[in-house]
Structure 1
Amino acid sequence: MAKARNIVDERTLAGWFSAPTEARAARLVAEEKDPVFFHADVEEHVQDPETGVTKRCDVTLRSRTRPLATVEMKRPEVAAADSPMLQEDSWSKAVGRGLPYFLTANFEEILVWETAKGNNQTTPLIRFVLAPQLGHSSHAPQRRAEISENWVKFLDQFSQYILELQNKEKGPRKLPPQVLELKEVIQEAAEEAAERIRSAVVNEEFRQKTLDAFRLQFGVETSLDPYGNKSRLLAESVQVAMIATFVVATRLMLYQALANSTRPDGASFDLDVLDITRSTADPQRVSSDLAGLYEHARRKTGDFETQFSLGELDEVVFVDASTSRKDVGLVWGKIIDVVKGADWEAPVTYVPGLYESLLDDEHRHVMGVHYTPDPVVELIAAYAVQDAADVVLDPASGAGTFATMCYERKRALGSTHDQSLAEVYAVELAQFAASLTGFNLTLADTSASSAYPRVFRTDFFQTYPGKLSGLELPDVGRVRYPKQVDAVVGNPPYIRFENRLPEEREEVFKFLQAHFMKTQIAYPNFTGKADIWAFFVAGAHMYLRPGGRLGFIVSWNLLASDYGDAVITFLARYFKIHALIDSRTERWFAAKQNTVIILAEKVSDPASKLSHQSNPNIPDDHCVRFVRLKRPIEELINKDVPRGKRAEDLVDQILETTHDTGDDLRWDIRLFEQKALLETESSADEFGDE
Structure 2
Amino acid sequence: MAKAKTIVDERTLAGWLSSPTEARAARLLEEDKEPVFFHADVEEHVQDPETGVTKRCDVTLRSRTHPIATVEMKRPEVAAADSPALQSDSWSKAVGRGLPYFLTANFREILVWETAKGPDQSRPLIRYTLAADLSHSSFAPKRRAEISDNWVKFLDEFAQLLHQREEKQKGPRKLPPQVLELKEVIHEAAEEAAERIRSAVNEDEAFRQKTLEAFRLQFGVEISLNPHGSKDRLLAESLQVATIATFVVTTRLMLYQALANSNRADGTTFALDLLDITRSTGDPQRVLSDLAGLYEHARRKTGDFETQFSPSELDDIVFVDAASSRRDVGELWGKIIDVVQGADWEAPVTYVPGLYESLLDDEHRHVMGVHYTPDPVVELITAYAVQDPADIVLDPASGAGTFVTMCYERKRALGSTHDQSLAEVYAVELAQFAASLTGFNLTLADTSASSAYPRVFRTDFFQTYPGEQSGLELPDAGRVPYPQQVDAVVGNPPYIRFESRLPEERQEVFNFLQRHFLKTQTAYPNFTGKADIWAFFVAGAHMYLRPGGRLGFIVSWNLLASDYGDAVITFLARYFKIHALIDSRVERWFAAKQNTVIILAEKVADPAAKLSHQSNPNVPADHQVRFVRLKRPIEELVSSEAPRGKRAEDLIDEILATDHDAGDDLRWDIRIFAQKALLEMETSTDGFGDE
* TM-score tier (shorter): 0.7 to 0.9
Matches within 5 A, 1:436-451: 436-451=437-452
- Give the drift of 1:450: 1.2
Instruction: Go from structure 1 to structure 2 and tell me whether the alpha carbon gap of 1:472 and 1:117 turns closer, same or farther (over 3 Å shift).
Output: closer
Mark the CA change 1:562 to 1:267 in structure 2 (over 3 Å): closer, same or farther. Answer: same
Tell me how far apart the structure 1 counterparts of residues 43 and 521 of structure 2 sit (CA, whole Å): 57
Shift of 1:206: 2.2
Mapped pair 1:483 → 2:480: no
Q: Which residue of 1 aligns with 2:660?
A: 659
Letter in 1 for 2:525: P
Match of 1:435 in 2: 436
| Cα pair 1:280 1:329 within 8 Å, conserved | yes
Matched residues in 2 for 1:535 and 1:383: separation? 22
**Alignment pair present for 1:425 and 2:426:** yes
| Counterpart AA for 2:677 | A
Could you tell me which residue of structure 1 aligns to residue 498 of structure 2? 497
**Deviation per residue, 1:602-624 (Å, 9 max, x gap):** 11111111111111111111111
Q: Structure 1 pair 567/60, CA: closer, same or farther in 2 (3 Å)?
A: closer
- 2:544 matched to which residue of 1? 543
User: What secondary structure, in the 3-state scheme, does the structure 2 residue paired with 1:178 have?
Assistant: helix
Residue aligning to 2:649: 648
Superposition deviation, residue 471 in structure 1 = 1.1
Q: How far off is 1:8 after superposition?
A: 6.5
Q: State the match for 1:178 in structure 2.
A: 178
Q: Is the 8 A contact 1:176 1:342 kept in 2?
A: no
Instruction: Supply the AA of the counterpart residue of 2:264.
Output: R
Query: Matches of 1:133 and 1:203 in 2, distance apart?
Result: 74
Q: CA deviation at 1:41?
A: 11
> Which residue of structure 1 lines up, in the alignment, with residue 75 of structure 2?
75
Q: Which stretch has the larger CA shift, 559-568 or 70-79?
A: 70-79
Q: Is it true that 1:218 corresponds to 2:219 in the alignment?
A: yes
Match of 1:461 in 2: 462
Return closer, same or farther for 1:508/1:100 CA change in 2, 3 Å cut-off: closer
Provide Cα deviations, 1:189-214, integer angstroms capped at 9, x if missing partner: 22222221222233233223222211
In structure 1, the residue matched to 2:623 is: 622
Q: Which residue in 2 is equivalent to 1:170?
A: none
1:286, distance to aligned residue in structure 2 (A): 0.9
User: Which digits, 9 at most, give the CA deviation of each residue in 1:45-99, with x for residues without a partner?
Assistant: 357598685732458899xxx9998663423432467877535422312312446
TM-aligned CA deviation for residue 475 of structure 1: 2.6
* Aligned match for 1:45, one of 37, 42, 45: 42
Answer whether contact 2:556 2:595 (CA < 8 A) is retained. Answer: yes
Contact 1:211 1:222 (8 Å CA) reproduced:
yes
Distance 2:111 2:365 in 1: 44
2:40–2:62 CA contact under 8 A, matched in 1: no
AA matched with 1:419: Q
Report what 1:599 is aligned to.
600
Residue 204 of structure 2 corresponds to 203
For 2:177, what is the secondary structure of its paired residue?
A: coil
Q: Structure 2 vs 1, CA of residues 568 and 60 (structure 1 numbering), >3 Å: closer, same or farther?
A: closer
Query: 1:531 and 1:415 mapped to 2: Cα distance?
Result: 36
On the 8 A contact 1:45/1:54 being kept in 2, the answer is no
Label 1:117 to 1:489 Cα distance change in 2 as closer, same or farther (>3 A): closer
Deviation of the 1:139 alpha carbon: 7.5
The answer to whether the 8 Å contact 2:99/2:585 transfers is no
Structure 1 segment 606-617 matched on structure 2, within 5 A:
606-617=607-618
Moved more, 198-207 or 390-399: 198-207
Residue 415 (1) aligns with residue 416 (2): yes
Q: Distance in 2 between matches of 1:211 and 1:398?
A: 21
Paired with 2:133 and 2:546, the residues of 1 have a C-alpha distance of 71
Over 3 Å counting, the alpha-carbon distance change for 1:205 and 1:46 in structure 2 is closer
| Structure 1 residue 12 displacement after superposition | 5.7
1:353 aligns to what?
Answer: 354
Distance 1:229 1:328 in 2: 27
DSSP-derived class of the 1:597 partner: strand
Match of 1:552 in 2: 553
Aligned-pair CA distance for 1:267 = 2.8
> 1:22 matched to which residue of 2?
none
Tell me how far apart the structure 2 counterparts of residues 82 and 571 of structure 1 sit (CA, whole Å). Answer: 48
Query: What letter corresponds to residue 303 of structure 2 in structure 1?
Result: G
How has the CA–CA distance of structure 1 residues 180 and 619 changed in structure 2, closer, same or farther, with 3 Å as cutoff? same
Q: Greater shift after overlay, 130-139 or 425-434? A: 130-139
Q: Compared with structure 1, are the counterparts of its residues 39 and 677 closer, same or farther at alpha carbon in structure 2 (3 Å cutoff)? A: closer
Partner of 1:679, secondary structure, is helix
SS state of the match for residue 582, structure 1? strand
Matched, 1:574 2:575: yes
Give the AA of the match of 2:420: Q
Partner Cα distance (2:340, 2:190) in 1: 16
Equivalent AA in structure 2 for residue 475 of structure 1:
D
CA distance in 1, matches of 2:204, 2:174: 47
The alpha carbon displacement at 1:405 in A equals 0.6
Residue 357 of structure 1, CA deviation: 2.7
Counterpart of 2:565 in structure 1 is 564
Deviation at 1:440, TM superposition (A): 0.6
Output the CA distance in 1 between the equivalents of 2:441 and 2:240. Answer: 22
The C-alpha deviation readout for 1:76-130, integer Å capped at 9, x for no partner, is 43246787753542231231244678676658999999967977xxx76459999
State the one-letter code of the partner of 1:608.
A
Query: Which of 615-624 and 53-62 deviates more?
Result: 53-62
Is contact 1:526–1:563 with CA below 8 Å preserved after alignment? yes
Q: Distance in 2 between matches of 1:243 and 1:129?
A: 46
- Residue type matched to 2:401 in 1? G
CA spacing shift, 1:68–1:184, aligned 2, 3 Å: farther
Q: Distance in 2 between matches of 1:514 and 1:46?
A: 54
CA distance in 1 between partners of 2:495 and 2:611 (Å): 29
Q: Which residue of 1 aligns with 2:378?
A: 377
Q: TM-score, normalised by structure 2?
A: 0.83
Q: Is the 8 A contact 2:567 2:681 kept in 1?
A: no
Deviation at 1:362, TM superposition (A): 3.9
Whole-Å Cα distance in 1 between the matches of residues 519 and 121 of structure 2?
65
Query: In structure 2, do the counterparts of structure 1 residues 628 and 229 end up closer, same or farther at CA, with 3 Å as the change threshold?
Result: same
Unaligned runs of at least 5 residues, structure 1: 20-37, 167-172, 683-690
Classify the secondary structure of the residue corresponding to 1:601. strand
Q: Are the equivalent residues in 2 in contact too, given 1:67–1:585 (CA < 8 A)?
A: no
User: Where do 5+ consecutive residues of structure 2 fail to align?
Assistant: 21-34, 684-691
**Aligned in 2, Cα 1:45/1:562: closer, same or farther, shift over 3 Å?**
closer
Aligned counterpart, 1:271: 272
Contact 1:377-1:401 within 8 A present in 2 as well: yes
Distance 1:667 1:591 in 2: 23
The 5 A counterparts of 1:15-34 are none
Q: 1:126-141 alignment to 2 at 5 Å?
A: 136-137=136-137
Q: CA deviation at 1:309?
A: 1.2
Deviation at 1:417, TM superposition (A): 0.9
Residues 47 and 562 of structure 1: is their aligned pair in 2 closer, same or farther, counting only changes over 3 Å? Answer: closer
Between 1:399-408 and 1:339-348, the stretch displaced more is 339-348
In 2, Cα distance between equivalents of 1:612 and 1:560: 22
CA contact (8 A) 1:14 1:59 kept: no
Aligned CA distance change for structure 1 residues 552 and 260 (closer, same or farther; 3 Å) = same
Code of the aligned partner of 1:406? C
Question: Deviation at 1:472?
Answer: 1.3
| CA distance in structure 1 between the aligned counterparts of 2:363 and 2:117, rounded to whole angstroms | 46
Question: More displaced, 462-471 or 216-225?
Answer: 216-225
| Amino acid aligned to 1:95 | V
Contact 1:112 1:124 in 2 (8 A): no
The change in CA–CA distance for 1:91 and 1:483 in structure 2 (over 3 A counts) is same
Q: Deviations over 1:464-492 (max 9, x none)?
A: 11111111111321111111100000001
The amino acid of 2:42's aligned partner reads: H
Deviations 1:13-61 (A, max 9, x none): 9999xx9xxxxxxxxxxxxxxxxxx999994435759868573245889
**Distance 1:14-1:280 versus aligned 2 partners, 3 A rule:** farther
User: What do the CA deviations read for 1:225-277 (whole angstroms, capped 9, x no partner)?
Assistant: 33344344333322222221111011111112122222212233332222222
